[in-house]
Amino acid sequence: MAQIGSIGLMELSSVAQGYVVQDVMLKAGSIQLLLARSICSGKFLIVVNGDVTSVESALLAGAAAAGPSLIERRLIARVHPSVLAAIANVVDFDPKQLRAIGVVETFSAASIIEAADAAIKAANVTLLRMHLAMALGGKGFLLMTGDVSSVQAAVAAGSKVAAEDGMLVGRGVIAAPSEELFRDYI
């Protein structure tokens, strides 16, 4: 896969329109499709990457094509590489090294990705998992770990980004979680 520079996210209320918008976005700029799929509540999520200018062009073209089905769009410049590993659920971690777990929950899949990027850039944490919309009524959540103070700082940063546009549902920090908790959530 090409190196991730910036990512663009679009969430739409229509699956059919999502496929149309995906095609328009891919034709609008030199971008790579990272994810395009239906998500809970009958919505459609599109994630693309490329340089900032190409991603911006694709988002503008996609928004115009989406019309009233557009729920939200976001551009995250210089996204941290571990964000995509957490989305793909390919993060390796030894539960014996678990010191704290941080959780951030948002009202949308797109907003949790931006919250995760802010969290990982704010503190020395490992993003463990990001869950996007499926079996969550369209919401998203992320799990992270590190020492307690780092997890607290990362949760605060991610929560702040989500709260700025009214997308924060909840957050929490669990110090010294049990291994059973780890198995249940990761």
Range of the domain at 171: 82-185
Q: Is 28 domain-assigned?
A: yes
pTM of the predicted model over 0.75: yes
Which positions ≥6 away from 178 have C-beta within 8 Å?
A: none
Are 70 and 20 contacting, i.e. CB atoms less than 8 angstroms apart?
Answer: no
Same domain for 70 and 46? yes
With CA atoms as reference, report the closest residue to 15 among 39, 34, 33: 39
Q: What value does the mean pLDDT take over residues 37-64?
A: 91
Same domain for 131 and 64? no
Tokens of 19: 């496929």
Same domain for 124 and 176? yes
Tell which wins on pLDDT, 94 or 48.
Answer: 48
Q: What is the CATH number of the domain that holds 28?
A: 3.30.70.1710
Q: Is 65 domain-assigned?
A: yes
With CA atoms as reference, report the closest residue to 93 among 42, 67, 62, 127: 127
Asked if the model's pLDDT at residue 18 lies above 90, the reply is yes
Residue ranges of alpha helices (H) inside 98-147 are 109-122
Same domain for 105 and 142? yes
Residue written as tokens 């951030």? 104
Asked if the model's pLDDT at residue 2 lies above 80, the reply is no
Same domain for 150 and 112? yes
Tell which wins on pLDDT, 61 or 127.
Answer: 61
Number of residues written out for the chain: 186
pLDDT single digits (tens) 82-130: 877 777 666 777 776 778 999 999 988 788 888 999 999 999 998 888 8
Same domain for 159 and 93? yes
pLDDT class for 1, splitting at 50, 70, 90?
Answer: very low
Compute φ and ψ for 167, nearest 5 degrees. -100, -5
Strands (E), 62-175: 70-76, 100-106, 126-132, 140-145, 168-175
Q: Is 1 domain-assigned?
A: no
Distance CA 152, CA 149 (A): 5
Same domain for 94 and 64? no
Tokens of 128: 């463990």
What pLDDT does residue 103 have? Answer: 94
Q: Across all residues in the chain, what is the average pLDDT?
A: 86
Same domain for 180 and 100? yes
Distance CA 10, CA 47 (A): 7
